[in-house]
Structure 1
Amino acid sequence: MNIRRIQMKDNSAIEQIIRECLMEFGGNRAGLAWEDDSLHQLYQYYTNDENRAYWIVEEEGTVLGGCGIAPFGKEEDICELQKMYLTSTTRGTGVATELLNIALDFAKHHYNKCYLETLQNMQGANRFYTKSGFERLNAPLAGSEHFACDAWYIKDLT
């Protein structure tokens, strides 16, 4: 498997993977990434600012997932791990750890903390984030746009 920065040609494939994952876990509803304007154009969203980036996991030219880093709201020192989704066949292969490490290495150059929001019923993801050093929060950070998320995490990058 190869991990690389997103390209324009990846937009529809990664949107489809994200939507399939959201449907799998009941996330195809308001207040979640399902309704994000940027979901149709992730390449444009993540490449128009040096403090944002998105990585694609691919194998033999087939997109298998990805994740991004972008500023969180108006906070200058906090980023958000965004849209980390993998196909069901890619989960559990260890590629998520590689993908997360690449994203966090990027984040460390621009931010002091990394925040993320998810759903409690994504149990594998929640275990993964805890294992990766994220601390569970009791509530979302102020400024969160995904009001339907019910699990929040933060990680110190310093």
Structure 2
Amino acid sequence: MTSETYLIREIEQKDNAQIAAVIRDVLIEMGVPKVGTAYEDKALDIMYETYNKKNAMYFVIEHDGKIIGGGGVSQLDNFEGNTCELQKMYFLPKARGKGLGAQMIEKCLTKAKEFGFEQCYLETMPYMKAAKKLYQRNGFDFIDGPMGDTGHYSCNVWMIRKL
């Protein structure tokens, strides 16, 4: 791959350590609490295994042989309804500002539609302004409270989009 090639592909087991490091690095960079957020999720260290199930998919962004970001979709936990969640979408600084976020959202939502989901939910933090703008540009609207039970009680911005 050339230095300007960014590949969005399905996660492989060999990506587990790299994507876990990316997510934790971004969360630390953003000052996200380590409790009540994705930082403490057991799934971070076994992302391939976590998403290797029905109606779930996780994608990584590879650049020069390194994982620099990722994002996925899966059934929204503890929610009655045909709703998925956009999950663990985090990019290192070198992946930002290149249109990769919109590409990742499109890839995830296309897969969610293939799985038959009717809407997609997400949670974020109030100070993640660029992320909130990205989500809004891609059809997500703010809602007044959480849906399901993600375990991320420190995330207090909730958004939804019909598929």
Q: What TM-score does the superposition give when structure 2 sets the normalisation length? A: 0.92
User: Which of 13, 18, 27 in structure 1 is aligned with 2:23?
Assistant: 18
Q: Give the CA deviation at 1:143.
A: 2.4
After TM superposition, the structure 1 = structure 2 runs for residues 4-153 of structure 1, keeping only pairs within 5 Å, are 4-47=9-52, 49-74=53-78, 75-110=80-115, 111-153=117-159
Q: Are the aligned partners of 2:75 and 2:83 in contact in 1 as well (CA < 8 Å)?
A: yes
Whichever residue aligns with residue 14 of structure 2, its letter is K
Q: Give the CA deviation at 1:142.
A: 3.8
1:132-156: CA deviations, max 9, x gaps? 1001011111423210001110000
**Secondary structure at 1:109 match in 2:** helix
Q: Give the CA deviation at 1:70.
A: 0.7
Q: Distance in 1 between matches of 2:134 and 2:72?
A: 16
Q: Are the aligned partners of 2:51 and 2:74 in contact in 1 as well (CA < 8 Å)?
A: yes
Q: Give the CA deviation at 1:44.
A: 0.4
Q: What TM-score does the superposition give when structure 1 sets the normalisation length? A: 0.95
Equivalent pairs counted in the alignment come to 156
Gaps of 5+ in 1: none
RMSD of aligned residue pairs (Cα, Å): 1.1
Q: Are the aligned partners of 1:67 and 1:103 in contact in 2 as well (CA < 8 Å)?
A: yes
Whichever residue aligns with residue 61 of structure 1, its letter is G
Whichever residue aligns with residue 117 of structure 1, its letter is E
Gaps of 5+ in 2: 1-5
Whichever residue aligns with residue 40 of structure 2, its letter is E
Q: Distance in 1 between matches of 2:23 and 2:150?
A: 19
1:83-129: CA deviations, max 9, x gaps? 00011111110011111101000001220010000101111001100
Q: Give the CA deviation at 1:78.
A: 0.4
Q: Give the CA deviation at 1:41.
A: 0.3
Runs of at least 4 residues off by over 4 Å: none
Q: Distance in 1 between matches of 2:109 and 2:41?
A: 22
**Secondary structure at 1:133 match in 2:** coil
